[in-house]
């Protein structure tokens, strides 16, 4: 079981809003912000919570310089990289069957993969929109979908917009199984109670991990707003376990327009990834 501690406003402003994993550092987990502050004084801090593009990722971090052996943690997800067993899911990039049932009657729908648009909201929460059709391919009974997936829980609303009852909606909630299938319940806009299901591999488990920061170097914003820190991808992500990651961030001021973030692996060059939303603060 991972041991986590939250650095509260006494040490890191609540705006950071980031869970820190102790990574086995028992002394850090047991210490309070007050005792840490008394021992080390106010640290230099870099915090971030950002959606990244190309590919779609989400990075949440707190880096602390001046807390002795404890340097903070990162919470990271790559929403396009498959990694079984993480419990964090994204919709598959292929057409998927979505079947509603009212009693013994079933109504087959198809979610079109080429219409899917994804927005990462946190390391374990993803928003999605798309479109589909009811009945045979090419049907004019079309609909749109808007929803969110949070770990293994999913909710969405379908709104019909074609030849079949435009404006009619179906609001659904459910859970995703380890094989990528999903099922749940739904309510229509005229208060009919339905069940729904999607087949195996309709959803896939994506790369997600929490890792302690091993070392860092932070220049507060008034001296440049730069931070470099290093961590190792943990064994919970077997495909990439042991990879040594160097992360370089820059705080360019309020908002994310002038912030930057780079990753490098195993001593190689760091690549710049566009920040789509969120903020990085170094002070």
Q: What is the mean pLDDT of residues 245-251?
A: 98
Quote the pLDDT of residue 67.
74
The CATH label, of 2.40.128.120, 3.30.9.10, 1.10.3720.10, 1.20.1250.20, for the domain at 93-201 is 2.40.128.120
> Residue 9: is it exposed, middle or buried by C-beta count within 10 angstroms (0-12/13-18/19+)?
exposed
Which tens digits make up the pLDDT trace of 185-234?
999 999 999 999 999 999 999 999 999 999 999 998 777 899 999 999 99
In 23-168 the beta strands, taken as DSSP E runs, fall at 44-52, 57-65, 72-82, 89-91, 96-102, 105-122, 125-134, 142-150, 153-160
3-state secondary structure of 37: helix
Q: How far apart are CA 244 and CA 264, in angstroms?
A: 8
Sign of the alpha-carbon dihedral angle for 60, 252, 12, 264: positive
Query: Is beta strand 20-21 parallel, antiparallel or unpaired with respect to 4-5?
Result: antiparallel
CA dist list (Å): 267 to 63, 214, 247 = 20, 15, 11
Long-range contacts of 192-195 (CB under 8 A, 24+ apart): 192/102, 193/102, 194/100, 194/101, 194/102, 194/170, 195/100, 195/101
User: Is residue 11 predicted with pLDDT exceeding 90?
Assistant: no
Alpha carbon distance 197, 27 (integer Å): 47
Residue-wise pLDDT for 114-155, tens only, equals 889 999 999 999 999 999 999 877 789 999 999 999 999 999
- Read off the DSSP letter of residue 13: -
What's the CA gap between 134 and 160, in Å, rounded? 9
Q: Closest by alpha carbon to 156, among 168, 174, 143?
A: 174
Number of H helices, E strands in the chain: 2, 20
pLDDT at 274 over 70: yes
Neighbours of 16 (CB within 10 A): 23
Cβ neighbours of 85 (radius 10 Å): 11
Please name which of 75, 65, 49, 62 lies closest in space to residue 211, comparing C-alpha atoms. 75
Q: How much is the mean pLDDT over the chain?
A: 87
The ranges assigned to domains in the chain are: 4-84+206-282, 93-201
Chain mean position to CA 52: 10
């Amino acid at each position: 079981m991972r041991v986590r501690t939250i650095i509260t406003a006494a040490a890191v402003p609540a705006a950071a809003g980031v869970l820190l994993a102790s990574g086995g550092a028992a002394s850090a987990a047991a210490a309070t912000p007050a005792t840490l502050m008394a021992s080390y004084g106010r640290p230099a801090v870099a915090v971030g919570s950002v959606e990244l593009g190309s590919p779609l990722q989400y990075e949440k971090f707190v880096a602390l310089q001046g807390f002795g052996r404890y340097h903070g943690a990162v919470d990271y997800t790559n929403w396009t990289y498959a990694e079984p067993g993480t419990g964090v899911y994204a919709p598959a990039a292929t057409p998927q069957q979505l079947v509603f049932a009212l009693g013994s009657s079933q109504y087959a729908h198809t979610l079109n993969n080429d219409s899917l648009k994804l927005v990462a909201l946190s390391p374990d929460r993803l928003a999605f929109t798309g479109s589909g059709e009811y009945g045979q391919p090419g049907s004019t009974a079309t609909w749109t979908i808007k929803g969110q997936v949070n770990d293994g829980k999913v909710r969405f609303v379908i709104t019909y917009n074609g030849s079949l009852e435009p404006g009619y909606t179906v609001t659904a909630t459910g859970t995703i199984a380890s094989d990528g299938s999903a099922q749940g319940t739904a309510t229509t806009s005229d208060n009919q109670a339905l069940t729904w299901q999607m087949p195996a591999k309709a959803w896939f488990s994506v790369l997600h991990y929490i890792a302690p920061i091993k070392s860092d170097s932070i220049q507060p914003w008034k001296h440049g707003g730069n931070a470099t820190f290093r961590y190792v991808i943990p064994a919970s992500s077997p495909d990439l376990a042991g990879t040594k990651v160097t992360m370089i961030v820059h705080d360019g001021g309020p908002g994310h327009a002038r912030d930057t973030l780079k990753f490098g692996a195993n001593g190689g060059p760091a690549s710049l990834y566009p920040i789509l939303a969120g903020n990085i603060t170094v002070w």
